[in-house]
Structure 1
Amino acid sequence: MNLYQHLIPHGKTEYWQWGETLGISLGALLLSYSLLPGDPLNTHVFPWIWMAPVLIALRYGVFMGVVSVLIFLGGWLVWATDQAVSYAAFPRITFLGGTLMVMISGEFSGVWISRTRRIEELQHYTEQRLELLTRRLYLLSLSHDRLEQDLIGRPSSLREGLKELNRILPAVNGLPGADIYLALVVRQCNLSVAGLHAVNEGQISPESVASIGAFTPVDDQDPLIAHCIKSGELVHINTEENLTELPSRYLVAVPAKTADGRLIAIMAVEKMPFFALQTENMQTLSVLTSYYADTITATEFTPFLTDTLKDCPIDFFKAMHTLRRLQKDMQISSMLVGFAALDTRESAEQLKSIANAVRGLDETWTLVRGEWRLCLVLLPLAGAGALGGYLDRIEHIFVERFGTRPGQMGILTRSVTLEQDPISTRLDDLIVALTERAHDPQQ
């Protein structure tokens, strides 16, 4: 990378850093000059002026600290020229000591900035995964309740509707699968007149992508719609904000919000039966809409799948892609573990035990390639130590259930990190390595 790419600011944050560095450094020089015009660098007293570059280095790291030192150097040269001072009087020891102090402070700052970024990335990923797991748990509970009640007269079940959503294909523009989603929520939540609108950077599209009933173009100035965009949460006429007093033609506004907080669409409901406007139905509508948003987000990764990975679950591949970015940018490692065995009824049961023995954040994919059945387990935020603990736990489960270890039952194991780009190549390589190793009894 060229030097100028490091020097030129990128984004508002870096412009602010450069502004603070220049402002504090020049301000310190001017203040020192006004107090001690004959010795602006305080070489004959305690060098208070050097607190400015030290503070900058502690806040922004070594690079901006060195920039501040260079500003001091330029300020001294300007002062020496103005005062006709010989350059031989340059305070070498002062600059040497000050520069070393600034560099040590900057290095200390850089270590803690890096650690803070790692912690923030870990927290963001776990919060995103927790949000997805919470939605899935609610959907599971809801599906179980609906099955228990034996909903007579419904043309299809909630589970079938979710399967339809999972088959949504990516689209270049608009919201893919909008009609499928709307048909699902109409069946499950008893909507009469409603429309789905795309949202781009906080701006709602006036024309609906899909609608039911005599739905008219949405009014983005409507209080209910505006409050939904601002809060990012489901809003209806009985919410705590007492929206019943505001003039709105809508009953409910539902945001299609992804797990990482991105708002991609809003569904506005004009008419629905009175008995349907209750808490459980609103929760169902909100979760189904969020599930649809996550499904659309997941389809963005579909074009990156190779021909041999077309049956790979999108959630599994998306998690690999996210964790690869964390490993590349923040050196937070994750592991991918593969198990392979001949495709028999017994091996299917054994690999099912492995797939069920996962933590909350883990992702699994069971597949068949030729005569081999494989189970791939993605262990997020796991290093070599966590991998060893996971394999020990799998052995313990097998000894308890089957009376022997996986290797003694013909199950082969292989683990890799996510250090290779593209991530689809890493997945392909692991599958090929497992099947080739299974063919070779000497390995």
Structure 2
Amino acid sequence: MKTHFFRPREVPELQIWAEVFIFTALALGLPVLFNTADPFWTQGGFSWPVLGPLLVALRYGFSKGFISILSLLIGQLLLVETDILTPQSDFNINAILGYVIVIMVTGEFRDVWDRTNQRQTIQLEYVTERLEVFTRQYHLISSSHDRLEQVLAGHTLSLRESLQAVRESIGQLEERCLDKAAQSILNLFVEYGTLEKAGIYKVENNIIVDPPLAAIGKMNTVSMSDPLVSAMFAENELVSVKDVKASLGVSQYHIAIPITDISDTVYGVILVEKVQFFALKNTTLTLLAVMAGHIGDLLRHEITNPVMQANEAPYFIKQVKRANKEAKRYKIPSHLLKITATNINPESRQLMKYLSEARRGLDIYLYNNEKQTLLLLMPLADELEKTGFIARLNSWSKGRTGKNLTDLGIVIEQQIALPINNDDLKRLVAFHD
């Protein structure tokens, strides 16, 4: 139940004046009724009638208290002057002046307290409002963060995982051409790039062919003059709204991803009109760019067998060039090894067979069975992973044959960390000879 007693600022003005009149009237009338001989209470040590104006001053401040004490004094004088009262004692002027001063000080104290209270109330309301805003924003961010953690917990943005998924998805297609593979490709990008509105288009002579081959959401008409599209064709690489080269105008896209082969021919493009905000991180953009490059190679070349024979060397060289390009552009480590069996015997053949069986998911081999020579491309492998791979070979050899690689006549002739310059890259063509 609400009461106005503890909130005087909310009391209606009429009620305030009514209370002033009632307290003043009680202070004037009660002494007359109960102490007719000394209605001013000058003989009792304390003038109790002043208690009424004192309560008014404490509740409503200086002005109302001052009016109340003046009204009380005037009322008492009128009662005396009209002979209604015949008190045995006269007014004590000093006491009366003292009571007036007490009432004034009391009223002023109340006014100062009220102003301080109002100021603190306003500050409290402001702090409370800011706290509510902060709390709402905190819960919004917290829920978004929880959702992001759930998404990332169920799907780690792993480059190795995404490339393996690309190989599996493309390898299962009956017809490996962009028109037939469009929906499968777009599904991969939606999964790993958290795209919300995107389309995959065919490109002919550097012109995007509308409508899209596959789309998530309704795509707008493609404009070749869009700054993001122009920047993509100029660079032949992924361009996002974060890139300086795409900031020359307002684009309707967030990301433009070209699908190219190793010769940098653009024959497809993925245009993204809407993407979740956290997908514009550099790690995610790199993942999408590398995925597009590998998809381009897989669609342009029928060979997907990761263990190749000598006659498949041209495709192996293309894969080396792709890894070299990614090492230069995106700082993705890769290694190239040349392993040769100087003494061809059952044990060396057994080791070469083990190499094929123990191949890592993304590794690509070029194997010459007659010469017992193996070229091994290790994408996404840093120096530590390469060293660990060689150590595992030695451990396996020791465990199975009792000999290390040197004893078996197995020599690692080349250990090349990508990227390398173009001249060294050209000499790789002769590796399989």
Larger Rg belongs to = 2
Shorter-chain-normalised TM-score: which range? 0.3 to 0.5
TM-score by length of 1: 0.39
TM-score by length of 2: 0.40
